[in-house]
Structure formats: structure tokens, C-alpha cells
A and B are shown apart, each in its own frame.
Chain A
Amino acid sequence: MAVKVLTIDDDPDILIALTLILESQGYEVITARDGLEGLGRVKLDVPNLIILDLMMPRMDGFAVCKELQKPEWVKYQHIPKLILTSIREDASRRRYELETGVTLEADSYIEKPIHPDVLLENVAKLLKGK
């Protein structure tokens, strides 16, 4: 069975790039355009990995992470997350740590622009660490 990766980003171009890279390695890619749609997809498809952008309209990545920490999402809390941060925007990383109380490990975030090799390496590491 193919490994399912849910990618949540409001930028369609990023989604296209992510899909192209991940599908080339045989991953099954599901996409969502904002946090709300993403959470729906989590319930519906139960992915093996979530790739999550932080700055999004409607419901941003911070809100998704906080929502997933709630008890009703306990079934989905084991799913590893790969956070996408904008390049040299350390403020957003700091905000993530402040809002969720979770330290972002080097493996669990990548800076945009996304380099294919870095993405695949981090995805593989997160899936293995599960």
C-alpha cells in the first residue's frame, strides 16, 4: 500500500511542486488549500505524514497544530508533521514554538523554497521515525 502524504498549502504552485517531487518517489499525495480543508482530509484519508504550511488564509498552520493537540484528535496525533516555513522567517518558527509549546526539530521543518533532495530526505526521516 502506498504511503499517503497530505500536503496543506495555500499556494497552488507549491502544491504542484510538492506533488511532482513526492509522486516521483511513489508516495500518494493528497492536497488541501487551507487548514480547515486539511483537517477534513486528515479524518477522511488518515495520511502517514502531513506537510503543513504555516501562513494560510481561513485556518493557518498554527491553528491546525493546536487543533490536532486537542483530545478529540487523539487518533491522529501520531501522524508526523513536516512544517513549511518561509525562508529566513525565524519569527514564524519562534511563534510556532510559543503557540504550540513544541520545539521544532531540525527534521520537522523545511524552509521554502523547497529543494527536492532536502524534502525527500526529511520526509523519509519522519516516516522512519514513526
Chain B
Amino acid sequence: MKIYLYTNVFIDLIMLIVLIHFTGGIENPFIFLLTLHVILAGIGLSHKTTYFIATVALLLVGIMVALECTGLIPHINLEGFISPDQYKQTNYIIAILVALAVLLYSGAYLTTAISGELRKRQRQVVTLTQQILAEKEAELDVSAREIDKLEEEKKRFLSFLGMAAHDLKAPLAAIQGFLWLILTGYTGKITDKQRDMLDRSSRRINDLVNLISDLLDIPRIEAGQLVQEMKEISLGELVKHCADDFSTVAKEKGLDLNVEVPENIRKIKGSDVRLRQVITNLLSNALNYTLWGSVTIRLTETESEQRVEVMDTGIGIPPQELPRLFNDFFRGSNVSVKGTGLGLAISKRIIEAHGGKIWVESPCPETNKGSKFTFTIPSKSR
């Protein structure tokens, strides 16, 4: 490769000298074109080679001049341009040769200096890039280890929550079981006063179980446990089932419970149990806070999402409380029904874990009464 390069350069130089010889030799001002060779060499080749080529060029010109002056080869005069014997004048020859030498060597110096600097920079850039790459790789390594550690911690945390849930609820379940046994008469007759107190105890136990469940639900949802529970489900079926569960309550309160679910709704990916929890929560709230009128649950579908709306004609929500409605432990100022204040906060987390949104409007824009809760689930939820 190198030999090819050198041969190429030399043939080039000799060709140019021959050309110059036939077009006036030292008289030809294009003799300075030889500098171009040196500049090109300076850009592409090494330091030494560049100076070597400059010297060779100078030597070749010297040889040509010597041969012409001694008459070994003929001199071709540029007629009418330069006087015929100028090529033999020593001063002229020296002047041209010196000028050429200066040009060749300064050209060599400049280009090798510039390209040398450029090469140095290039090397620095390469080392720097490699250094940065190595550093980033190390950082990635650390992050990967940290992610592993976090995953491990999450697993431990979830199993801790599972144990806590079990151990907190087990005694309550036993107590509740016994209370129900007594209340249903398996242990003999009880007085009305006893029944009343046992009833109250049973309800308090129930509240406590709900509170524990709610409190332990929050970290589980936030730790992403929901994703494991997700599968293909029909939101339409879910809405119908949940509404069915509340039909008796609605009838008892004298409220109309309207269910609007279109046919052939596509399936979505979601947690059956958790979405049931959300719908149940919304319906239960709507029925609790509506004294007369109706509760409507409606499912609609667009290309990108499915939307569930729960509308009631109830007491509504004071405007100043709307922004805090989904906060943990928030309880409305105008409600008397018992609750943990966590239902909507958990619903929001569940919907967001599905990649959806939940919001409230009060009064409901369609009826100008009560309130309207809406949540969306993306159709291609992953």
C-alpha cells in the first residue's frame, strides 16, 4: 500500500517536471504548482514523508535546470513571454530555486503542523469518547444492580404486606365469625339488647377490616402489583355485574338505577378485581349520597379508550372540595355516611395504574344535579 503511494507520488512529480520542461522549464511560473504536492502530502502522509517529497521536488527541479543549462536536454523557450537566455542566468535560477524551496518547505511545515494538530485532537476525542463510554458503562452497571436491589426490596415489601394483611385480619375474621354465630342463634337465644350490641360490634369489626384492607391496598397498588393481576376482561360485563349487585339497594331506597352498556364492547387488559373495586366504590357513593332521583352508569367506547360514567341526582359536592376529593382520608363536609375516606383515593390509584384517568364534575353537566364521576381505560392498555 505504502509502496503504491510512494510510486504514485514520484510518477506524479516526474510527470509534472517533464511537463514543466516542455513548457519552458524554469521559465514556467507553474513550477510553483509543485507546492500543491507537498500540501497534499502534508495532509495525508507523515511529517517525514512530506519533507522528503519537498526535497525530492526541489532536487528534480535542480536536475532539470542543470540538464538544461549544460545542454544535455534542450531548453524550450516561452516565446514572447520571457527572453530566450534567461534560463541560463544564475541570479534568475537561484531566485526561482530559493523561492521554490521556501514555498515547498513552508508548505510542508504549515500543512504538517496543521494536520498534526488535527490528528492530535482526533486522538484526544477518541480517547475521551472511550473514557466517557467506559464511565457510562460503569454507571449502567451500578444502575442495573440498584434496579435488582429495588426489585428485591419490592418483593420483600409486598410479601411483608401480605403477611401483615393476613395477621391483622385473621383475628378480626375469627371475632366476626363468632359474632355472627351468636347473632344467627347457633349458641342459643340472646336478648334484644345483646343483639343490638353484638350488631354494633360486628359493624365496627367490618369497618376495621375495610380500613385495614384499604390501607394495605395503597402500597400494593403503588408497588405495581396490579400488573400481575391484569388479563383480558370485558368492562361491559363488569359494569353490568356491579350494577346487578346494587339493584336491591337501589330498590330499597326507591332510586332508579340505569345501566347503559352498548353491545359488542371490545375487551381490555385490566385487573378484574380492582376495576370491580372502583366501579363498586363509585356506585356505592352515588347511591349513598342520593336521596331521591336516579343513578346512571354508562359505558362508552372510542378508538383509543373506554369510558365509564357514574351520574347521580344526589347532594353533589361543594365546589371548594372538588380539588381534594381524591386525596387520602378526605371526607366531604356534607356527608353523614361512614367511610374510610380512602375509597376514591384508591380508585384513582387503580385507574392510573391502568394508564387511565378519573375525574369528577359537580353538578353533573347533563342534569345540572348531583355529581358525575368519569374514568377512562385505554383500549390497548398494556
Binding site for B on A (CB under 8 A): 11, 13-14, 17, 20-21, 24, 55, 86-94, 112-117
B231 nearest in chain A by CB position: A94
A24 nearest in chain B by CB position: B186
Evaluate contact between B177 and A14: CB separation under 8 angstroms: yes
Q: How far is the CB of A70 from chain B (nearest CB, A)?
A: 26
A14-B181 contact given A87-B209, A87-B213, CB 8 Å threshold = no
Whether, in the assembled complex, B180 has its beta carbon less than 8 Å from a beta carbon of chain A, the answer is yes
Partner of A86, one of B170, B184, B225: B170
Other A-B pairs beyond A91-B220, A112-B177, 8, CB < 8 Å: A13-B174, A14-B177, A20-B187, A87-B213, A88-B213, A113-B175, A114-B173, A114-B177
A21-B186 contact given A90-B273, A112-B177, CB 8 Å threshold = yes
Whether, in the assembled complex, B162 has its beta carbon less than 8 Å from a beta carbon of chain A, the answer is yes
Whether, in the assembled complex, B165 has its beta carbon less than 8 Å from a beta carbon of chain A, the answer is yes
A116-B186 contact given A11-B174, A20-B181, A87-B213, CB 8 Å threshold = yes
Residues in chain A near residue B178, CB distance under 8 A: 13, 17
Closest 9 CB pairs of A and B: A113-B176, A112-B173, A13-B174, A90-B273, A88-B213, A113-B173, A17-B177, A113-B177, A116-B184
Residues in chain B near residue A94, CB distance under 8 A: 228-229, 273
Q: How far is the CB of A98 from chain B (nearest CB, A)?
A: 9
Query: How far is B175's CA from A116's CA once the two chains are assembled, in angstroms?
Result: 13
Evaluate contact between A86 and B181: CB separation under 8 angstroms: no
8 Å CB interface, B166-218 against A? 166, 169-170, 172-178, 180-181, 184, 186-187, 205, 209-210, 213
Residues in chain A near residue B176, CB distance under 8 A: 113
Q: How far is the CB of A60 from chain B (nearest CB, A)?
A: 11
11 contacts between A and B (CB under 8 A): A20-B186, A21-B186, A86-B166, A87-B209, A89-B165, A91-B229, A94-B229, A113-B173, A113-B175, A113-B176, A114-B180
Q: How far is the CB of B217 from chain A (nearest CB, A)?
A: 8
Evaluate contact between B181 and A113: CB separation under 8 angstroms: no
Query: How far is B184's CA from A17's CA once the two chains are assembled, in angstroms?
Result: 12
Query: How far is B146's CA from A119's CA once the two chains are assembled, in angstroms?
Result: 48
Residues in chain B near residue A86, CB distance under 8 A: 165-166, 169-170, 173
Partner of B209, one of A11, A88, A91: A88
Binding site for A on B (CB under 8 A): 162, 165-166, 169-170, 172-178, 180-181, 184, 186-187, 205, 209-210, 213, 220, 225, 228-229, 273-274
Residues in chain A near residue B187, CB distance under 8 A: 20
Query: How far is B358's CA from A100's CA once the two chains are assembled, in angstroms?
Result: 35
Residues in chain B near residue A92, CB distance under 8 A: 162
Evaluate contact between B162 and A116: CB separation under 8 angstroms: no
Query: How far is B173's CA from A2's CA once the two chains are assembled, in angstroms?
Result: 29
A18 nearest in chain B by CB position: B177
Q: How far is the CB of A112 from chain B (nearest CB, A)?
A: 4
Instruction: Give the dominant DSSP class at A's interface.
Output: helix
Residues in chain B near residue A115, CB distance under 8 A: 180, 184
Residues in chain A near residue B170, CB distance under 8 A: 11, 86, 112
Query: How far is B176's CA from A86's CA once the two chains are assembled, in angstroms?
Result: 12
Residues in chain A near residue B184, CB distance under 8 A: 115-117
Query: How far is B225's CA from A64's CA once the two chains are assembled, in angstroms?
Result: 25
Residues in chain B near residue A13, CB distance under 8 A: 174, 177-178
Partner of B229, one of A17, A21, A90, A117: A90
Query: How far is B225's CA from A25's CA once the two chains are assembled, in angstroms?
Result: 41
Evaluate contact between B165 and A113: CB separation under 8 angstroms: no
Residues in chain B near residue A87, CB distance under 8 A: 169, 173, 209, 213
Evaluate contact between B180 and A113: CB separation under 8 angstroms: yes
Query: How far is B274's CA from A7's CA once the two chains are assembled, in angstroms?
Result: 30
Evaluate contact between B225 and A113: CB separation under 8 angstroms: no
B272 nearest in chain A by CB position: A90
A17-B166 contact given A90-B229, A94-B273, A116-B186, CB 8 Å threshold = no
B209 nearest in chain A by CB position: A87
Residues in chain B near residue A17, CB distance under 8 A: 174, 177-178, 181
B165 nearest in chain A by CB position: A89
Q: How far is the CB of A92 from chain B (nearest CB, A)?
A: 8
